[in-house]
Amino acid sequence: MHKFSLKLRLMIAFSTFFVLIGSICFLVSWFEAKESTDEFFDSYQMALARNLASADWEDVNHSVLKHTNFEFKNIKNAQDDDEAIGFAVFDLSGNMVFHDNQNGKNFSFKGYTSAFVNENVKGDLWRIMRIKSADKNHIIAIGQELEYRSDVAWDLTEEFMLPWIVGLSVLLMFMLMIIEREFRPLKKAALQIKNRKPDDLSQVQMSGLPKEVLPLVDAINELLQKLQTLLQTERRFVADASHELRTPLAALKVQLEVLQLCLDDKEALNKAISNLEQGLLRSAHLVEQLLTLSRIENLMPDFDDAQDINWKHHTENILNDYQTAIKQKNLRINCDKLTNKGPISKANQTLIATIIKNLSENAVKYSPKGANIDICSDDKCFEIFNLGVTIENKHLEHLGKRFYRPSGNNEKGSGLGLSIVKHIVQHYNCDLSFTNVDNGFKVRVTKQ
């Protein structure tokens, strides 16, 4: 279902609100004006009736009426509306003895009422009251057309509401202009994003944007930053993989050619097959490490199922997998200071096992025969110490980088194990450090 834009919805909402409020105010003003008009003209009719009732109507004749009309016509700046008021004077027999020479002559005699009544006078509705004169010999009828009262009420309402209507209309136009102006930065930001190239993941400019949308723009920029990091990681992974796999694949090709040349020599053939098998294992291990590193770098949130970690249990299980290599090299593993606790108390079990596996594998692989390996842990640190093994200081700061392996090392490896450990450790707000201490090499995972 198509939805209107926020700007259009705001404009419609404000316009509807102003029309609704204006209509309510207009109706309330009209009813108030109508009530005030009725009260005023009722009071005016009663005051006129009081004056007429006190007059002497016995000797009044129509020559007086003519003289009165002549005097009124000579009044300057006078506006005489024949609907404003009308009156007539009747004797007790019902004979009209005097009237205003306008609408009063159409009034009918209905006796003494002493109250306001609505009557039809020549097709128009009039509000008429009748009272007796002071001498009790005459009935005085004073009336006013109701439509005139309504016209006066409408005129008062229009005069009162017109400035408000004009003011509200100007205010509405001003608000619509403000809405249009305030939405321009949003439109500009939208065009900026729309016109970007697919590989442009730079931050969205936040200058001039309303404060209310800054959290949204921040979230978009954060997402763009994550996408940029992910894209850089993928590019680096492709570049590293293509670079690192080129040599083993070339070696496999050479070994295959050697194998083809040794088909007639059984001993050479077996040796070529063994070399090819070792090359395949190294390549498979390299690919596995590359995929592990890529998954850890890009999909770390997928490993957020935190569980209690037993560091001693994980370490002992992993060391059991290396018992053959440990016995072949006559290594002595000391785990007396290894506890169940470690620098990371809750984490994904697989990731912690990966840390311990890579560090333990390096300790076993790079220790000379008969060496001692001390493994210890507490709630702040996990540590592996290789006695009799040291690394040149110039190499220490590069450990943990992708594919970095100190020169002069004859052991086979991909140079990715410590990089994998470093990423996992940093995800859990810990540090990975390497030091040469007391004629030995120490690896420490410590809580920040």
d(CA 32, CA 29): 5
Model confidence at 59: pLDDT above 80: no
d(CA 91, CA 105): 14
Model confidence at 35: pLDDT above 50: yes
d(CA 382, CA 374): 11
pLDDT, tens only, 348-385: 888 888 888 888 888 888 888 888 889 999 888 999 99
d(CA 166, CA 176): 15
Model confidence at 287: pLDDT above 80: no
d(CA 69, CA 63): 10
Q: Mapping DSSP to helix (H, G, I), strand (E, B) and coil, where does residue 446 land? A: strand
pLDDT, tens only, 426-446: 888 898 888 888 788 888 999
pLDDT, tens only, 147-181: 888 888 888 888 887 888 888 788 878 887 887 78
d(CA 414, CA 417): 7
Q: How many helices (H) and strands (E) does the chain have?
A: 11, 12
> Residue 406 — pLDDT band, cuts 50, 70, 90?
low
Model confidence at 300: pLDDT above 50: yes
Model confidence at 330: pLDDT above 60: yes
Mean pLDDT of the chain: 78
The length of the chain is 448
Give the number of C-alpha atoms closer than 13 A to the C-alpha of residue 288, restricted to the C-beta side: 9
CA 142 to chain centre: 69
Pairing of strands 430-436, 440-447: antiparallel
Q: Kindly report the CA angle at 25 between 21 and 27, in degrees rounded to 5? A: 120
d(CA 368, CA 373): 11
Model confidence at 92: pLDDT above 80: yes
- Contact between 388 and 368 under an 8 Å Cβ cutoff? The reply is yes
d(CA 228, CA 224): 6
Nearest Cα residue to 361 out of 420, 308, 284, 298:
420
pLDDT, tens only, 237-258: 666 666 556 656 666 677 777 7
Task: Please give the residue that has the higher pLDDT: either 223 or 127.
Answer: 127
Amino acid identity of 332?
Answer: R
- Contact between 359 and 370 under an 8 Å Cβ cutoff? The reply is no
Q: Would you state the pLDDT for residue 237?
A: 64
What percentage of the chain reaches a pLDDT higher than 90? 1
Q: Would you state the pLDDT for residue 383?
A: 92
Q: Would you state the pLDDT for residue 70?
A: 47
Q: Would you state the pLDDT for residue 73?
A: 55
Task: Please give the residue that has the higher pLDDT: either 351 or 201.
Answer: 351
What predicted TM-score, i.e. pTM, was given to this entire model? 0.46
Owner of token pair 């102003």: 18
Owner of token pair 């009557």: 119
d(CA 200, CA 195): 10
Classify burial at 296, counting beta carbons within 10 Å of its beta carbon; exposed 0-12, middle 13-18, buried 19 or more.
buried
Q: Phi then psi for 415, rounded to 5 degrees?
A: 75, 20
